[in-house]
Structure 1
Amino acid sequence: MLQIPEKLFVTRSVHRTLGLDPNNSILSCGFIHHTRHLPQNENLVFKYYGALLLLSGEGTYLDKDGKSTRIYPGCFVQRLPYIKHSTITKEDGKWLEFFVCFGYETYRSLRHMGLLLDQPVLSPGLSQSLLDRCLLLYDHLEHSTQEQLPYLLLEAQQLVFGIYDMHRRQSLRPSVRTLLYEARDLLGSGQIPDDSCRGTAEYLGLGYENFRKLFRQEFHMPPHTYLIQKRLNSAKELLLQDSLSIQEIAARTGYPDSFSFSKQFKKYTTLTPRQFRALHQVPGADRGSARQT
């Protein structure tokens, strides 16, 4: 267990803003030490993203429905925007947290990209390197100029992503992680009879819903999104070959027909396959051999 230096058991924080709207421009972090439960930590609703890494002490997290989760050193508690929650502190004088906050629009963008989870309590554990990163962010933010704040916003996000990575490594057994990487290679490869997301999960002996959850935790996107990206990347390479028709490319990349392929290709690239091929045509090349049925 990481020993927290006694000198850190002092409340100190730094709060900055990158713009005029406090809910979207907030950037803050710091250490909070208290010896008793504070009523103001009950039924909280943040209008921005906040999170705390518990360094010392114990308590209970209550979600919007009153479901309780025990929290202890090494827990990472996400205070998700506009969701009511409570944090009940054990009154033993040991509570010390490091918190970080950034704006709602930043949170929403990261959530939309699948980079942040809606799971309120994670278990990354503690390490000296993680504590050092918390101290470094605090020091950087405390002594920053206004011009440096965008870079520190990225540093705050990188800290959260690092904590996410620690949580994944703590929660996944090596055997499960091996299966997930095998699933990633099999998706859309044509190596198994049904290389769809559900077919791949069944082939590896994983329950589909659990597979979706674990795949997203490990690779920051749902397996269906990964499969689409993989198929479209293969299609783009094949479209550069003059000898293949759109129908042939659709079949090779796992689509039932050229219509389904073209529809999804345009949805994700804003171009039809023919437009993509024409855009990447080498000037002066003879494309007469292309058979675009």
Structure 2
Amino acid sequence: MDFDRSKHNVIKYLPTNNDENIWGMSISGIGFQSIDPKGSYPLKGHPIGYTFNPDRGRIIDEFALVYIVKGEGTFTSINCLEKKISKGDAFFIFPGQWHSYQPIANIGWDEYYVTFQGDYFEKLLNGIINRANPIFHIGMNDQIVKHFGEMLDCARAQKSGFQAVLAGITMHTIGLIYSINKNQDYGPVSMQKIQEACVLMRENIYDKFTPEDIAESINMSYSNFRKSFKQYTGIAPHQYMLQLKLSKIKDLLSSTEMSIQDIAMKLNFESADYFSYFFRSKTGINPLSYRKEIEKQREKAKKNSH
């Protein structure tokens, strides 16, 4: 089963604020692009200065981190001869550095990216990255995809202090990439398959699919997939999917004003009643009570801060 990731495409470019002066770093853009075979690249929606013709390349005024989770392509820069990029590769771009990258036309790719700037980032990346080879072969990693998902959610909401939160997650992501690469800690082929499965589950949390669909997508028999998944994660694939769903419910209840009915529909529950039953069975509290408790905690925190 091949999942349609293109419906999850997100391109967000962000305003800066006084947080940049306080923290010394800011995030200018975050996104996800799924490029089908023979699809145009990059997608429409990028502002002037960010869109580019891969045949001519471009120069930007900030750093960029790109993580490929599907497909193949190439990367080149003024410092780096053209290199192949594959699923599980991350690469960095420096301010003022001519560069170009693109998926192979008849293969396509899926990419997460973040663009950022600041003295702290500059000092760090100039210290740990070789401009002649800024590509990290880290393999598929669900934690990195989770961080990109958190950044996308934060960028959509743009709540007070969001720039500081984004900068913190970006720093954590860079640290994780550096650590995996340094220790070559991306695991055997079987573990990479499970990481890929976890990524698919996370990216398609709003869709109707089963563990059997995931096994088919990563070319494993279901019995072998279930056994390997439980070996590496400690729980069965179905339970892992339920944990992801529960985490997303808590996020939607606490960070949006969506109704219980709308959340239930968004996450493909049969009914709002079953949705409430599921949530209560996992947390011991119903969804509305959970939302009210979160609101109480926020009000208490506001009063204590004055």
Greater Rg, structure 1 or structure 2?
A: 1
**TM-score, normalization: structure 1?**
0.50
Q: RCO (CA 8 Å, sep 6+): is it higher in 1 or 2?
A: 2
Return the TM-score normalized by structure 2: 0.48
